[in-house]
Amino acid sequence: MKKGADLSQLFILLAKLWDYPTNLSPETKEVLEKLHEDLGLSTSEEAFSIKDEELREEYTRLFINTPLGVPAPPFASVYKGGGLLCQKPMEEAMAFYRRAGVGPASENEPADYLPLELAFVAYLLTEGKTELLREFLNKHLLSWFPLFREALLKAQPHQFFVALVSLTEALLSKLNEEVSA
């Protein structure tokens, strides 16, 4: 697996991809396809052919709102805090951010929002804070991400999100193996 800045950049990319989509460039799609290939992950041909408007609609359906609720909210509190936002897992995330010497993660989103947590992983990699990264992964992010993955797949998402969750899971797993060795 890539080291240092390269790996940090991958997690920054993941953070951007899990946030509300504005534009998925052809270059980004190529990078995603190459990463899947490099990691030996299978994807459908339609995964990276999604149009921007379709991507935004699917993002809204999965993570923001539907008439039946939100199928896969990208917040730790939903999975570890009794199904509600802004619970103890959000406070846990903020405690990790403070320990790393960074302020509030965002003015617009709770601290346990998946894109913020992935950006934090990138920050810890950049700063070489391996011990804190290991603890953050094992005590926080990896304790809820599998539950999020399960909820997402249950919602039968577009293949883009199947590919994205697969890639995120693979990179988190490899990173955890490296920092735990």
Q: Which CATH number fits domain 4-180: 1.10.3480.10, 2.60.40.1840, 3.40.50.1980, 3.30.460.10?
A: 1.10.3480.10
pLDDT score of 88 more than 80: yes
105 pLDDT band, cuts 50/70/90, is low
Report the pLDDT value the prediction gives residue 142, as an integer from 0 to 100.
98
Contact between 33 and 113 (Cβ < 8 Å): no
What is the distance between the alpha carbons of residues 104 and 24, in angstroms, rounded to a whole number? 27
Nearest CA to 24 out of 52, 53, 58 is that of 52
> pLDDT of 113-159, one tens digit each?
999 999 999 999 999 999 999 999 999 999 999 999 999 999 999 99
pLDDT exceeding 70 applies to what percent of the chain? 94
